[in-house]
Structure 1
Amino acid sequence: MHLAETHRYSLYLILLAFVIVLLASYTSLKLARRIADSSPWHQKLWITSSATTLSVGIWSMHFIAILACPYPAVKSFDIATLFTSLAIAVIGSIIGFIVMHFATFEFPKFLLGGTFMGLSISGMHFLSMSALNQAEIHYSPIPFILSILIAILVSITTLYLSTYTKQKVLSSGFVISLALTGMHYIGVSAGKMTYPDRSMLAEHYPVDMDAYVLALLIAFGTIIFLSFNLFYSMKIDQKLLEQFALKASLLDTSMDSIMVFNSRGWIIECNSAASAAFGYTRKQTLTLTMFDFLFPFDRNGEAAAALFQQLSRQDAALLGKRVEMAAYRADRSEFPAEITITGFQFKGKRMFAATIRDLTNQKRSVSAS
């Protein structure tokens, strides 16, 4: 038996493995951005796509990185074990994402989901290492445990970033890829491998494909898979932009004033009719709250607090109902208004839309008659 050499790695295959996992991390985070904004059925689809994309990329990186190692002399793998390791990574990642996005318990979901996902990735790593035929592997405890801890930490970070919409996808993907690559080589360094003489190995496994050819085939298949998912995500982006542009056009052509505000009352969007009706510019409107338009003289804040409490508890007597009340322009002049407030979810946050109709002319007509 010969002790496997652990130097003279193939730099080209190492770089190829890193590029694969970088592309997988980037694509997975891009797909994860769709989860919060989708319907429940589509959320499951995006979770499955994001988790599968990441786990397939990690598995491919791991397999190519194994080919970059100088051992054993003739690389021959047990196919069933390899695909079992891939299945473990995919299933574990999907479960981790499901726990993160659907679990209802109080314990931090990204910790539990990330731990399960990290253990599955570690299991994939060491199981696929055992797929090398005729190789005996003995692991050193410290790097063995360290690689598992890194896998768990990276998984926790990935799940957290999958719900954090403000992160920069490219830089986040780069950090995740570096950590996953480091996890792989720490895991490899934990193993002391011995294998038979080349002549014995070649006799039992005579078919030997060049490592570069095999790596390129795996990389090509993975890139096709990732490119399909990324292309689909970009098509969805384009469709959403078109829908957003259409909705923006409908808002701007509406005769009624429409304002979108968050749970604290801050205006985050308005249409042209709102700016014209209240006498503010759009820029000025986005620095105000709904309470500035409805209760500008509410010194003690009681009226604003009452409305805020109704919004917080999603009071059915308010939401979706037409309510007549006074509204105020920029010059603090009062006018009668019909206000309808509706609530909706946007990127996991509670938002509200107020449709405000000026009743001044209507009131005058009634008085005249």
Structure 2
Amino acid sequence: MPMQLSYNWLLVLLSYAVSVLGSFTALQLAVAIPVATTHHQKTAAVAMAGGAMGLGAIWAMHFIAMLACDSSMQVTYDPALTALSALVAFAACSAGLMLVGSGLFSWLRLLAAGTCMGLGVASMHYLGMAAMMMPAVTSYNMGLVIISLIIAVVASMVALWLAFNLRGPLQMITSALVMGMAVCGMHYTGMAAARFEDNGGQLPDGYATGLRGDNLGLTIFVIVATLLVLMLVLYYWRQRYRSSLNI
């Protein structure tokens, strides 16, 4: 019989909070991409914004939300697949930002970048699901998987459009709140697509060396949120410093 899942609602809320913070940070940092005057500046801006979006708003949200899920059995996570999922999220978001932020804006360019980023985000999610090690067999409802892919692509297109078309703080805060909902929507649709069935207690190879810990979700939230806040502080300090040089 399929397992019934329950959720730690504190971690669910923290997953949304880190997604909003990551989205807001990425939207702020992305402003520097189209105005960069050198290749080095553009690469740095893309890496910073891609890291905030891919690792903060998306990967950290996903992993914390995975830890929020209680399947009534001990779950560990394959370190290599978990690291790969983070790399895929970073690469996909950076590629999308680079594509849209280079050259003149066009809807065709946005579609291509959003598709690239969305498929990368979805790949990150299902790699993260594959990293779960537990005495169960996982299968998927392909209809819900397809819906999660569509949500990922649409959310990515919206994120990229917002990153290069909104500038006011209030608009960015509102956009970050919406993006957090979209990212969470993709994740929980993907989770709803999964079906876990007990395999009789047979543990997979590497189970004992997998990532686990009762406070792992809270720890990841604190670390990622701190890094995102530091990125924002550094960004505002640099903006203020540059403004003072122009006076």
Find the counterpart in structure 2 of residue 131 from structure 1: 131
**TM-superposed deviation, 1:18:** 0.6
Find the counterpart in structure 1 of residue 227 from structure 2: 225
Provide the C-alpha distance between the structure 2 equivalents of 1:83 and 1:210, rounded to a whole number of angstroms: 17
Q: Tell whether 2:23 aligns with 1:20.
A: no
Find the counterpart in structure 1 of residue 174 from structure 2: 171
Do the aligned partners of 1:72 and 1:195 also contact (CA within 8 Å) in 2? no
Instruction: Say how many residue pairs are matched.
Output: 241
**TM-superposed deviation, 1:9:** 1.1
* Higher Cα Rg, which structure: 1
Do the aligned partners of 2:15 and 2:62 also contact (CA within 8 Å) in 1? yes
**TM-superposed deviation, 1:192:** 0.5
Find the counterpart in structure 1 of residue 113 from structure 2: 113
Helix, strand or coil: the match of 2:7?
Answer: coil
Cα separation, partners in 2 of 1:204 and 1:116, compared to 1, 3 Å: closer
**Per residue, is there more helix in 1 or in 2?**
2
Which is further off, 11-20 or 226-235?
Answer: 226-235
1:275-324 deviation per Cα after TM superposition (whole angstroms, max 9, x unaligned)? xxxxxxxxxxxxxxxxxxxxxxxxxxxxxxxxxxxxxxxxxxxxxxxxxx
Do the aligned partners of 2:133 and 2:204 also contact (CA within 8 Å) in 1? no
Q: TM-score, normalised by structure 2?
A: 0.89
**Per residue, is there more strand in 1 or in 2?**
1
Pairing of 1:258-277 with structure 2 (within 5 A)? none
Provide the C-alpha distance between the structure 1 equivalents of 2:47 and 2:89, rounded to a whole number of angstroms: 12
Find the counterpart in structure 2 of residue 142 from structure 1: 143
Gaps of 5+ in 2: none
Find the counterpart in structure 2 of residue 46 from structure 1: 45
Provide the C-alpha distance between the structure 1 equivalents of 2:109 and 2:86, rounded to a whole number of angstroms: 24
Pairing of 1:63-102 with structure 2 (within 5 A)? 63-71=63-71, 73-102=73-102
Provide the C-alpha distance between the structure 2 equivalents of 1:85 and 1:31, rounded to a whole number of angstroms: 23
Do the aligned partners of 1:96 and 1:114 also contact (CA within 8 Å) in 2? yes
**TM-superposed deviation, 1:204:** 7.4
From 34, 53, 56, the counterpart of 1:36: 34
Helix, strand or coil: the match of 2:132?
Answer: coil
Provide the C-alpha distance between the structure 1 equivalents of 2:101 and 2:234, rounded to a whole number of angstroms: 22
Q: TM-score, normalised by structure 1?
A: 0.61
Provide the C-alpha distance between the structure 1 equivalents of 2:149 and 2:103, rounded to a whole number of angstroms: 24
Do the aligned partners of 2:114 and 2:157 also contact (CA within 8 Å) in 1? yes
**TM-superposed deviation, 1:106:** 6.4
**TM-superposed deviation, 1:72:** 5.5
Pairing of 1:234-313 with structure 2 (within 5 A)? 234-244=236-246, 246=247
Do the aligned partners of 2:144 and 2:193 also contact (CA within 8 Å) in 1? yes
Cα separation, partners in 2 of 1:243 and 1:108, compared to 1, 3 Å: farther
Cα separation, partners in 2 of 1:3 and 1:106, compared to 1, 3 Å: closer
Identity, % of aligned positions: 27
The one of the two structures with greater contact order (alpha-carbon pairs below 8 A, sep at least 6) is 2
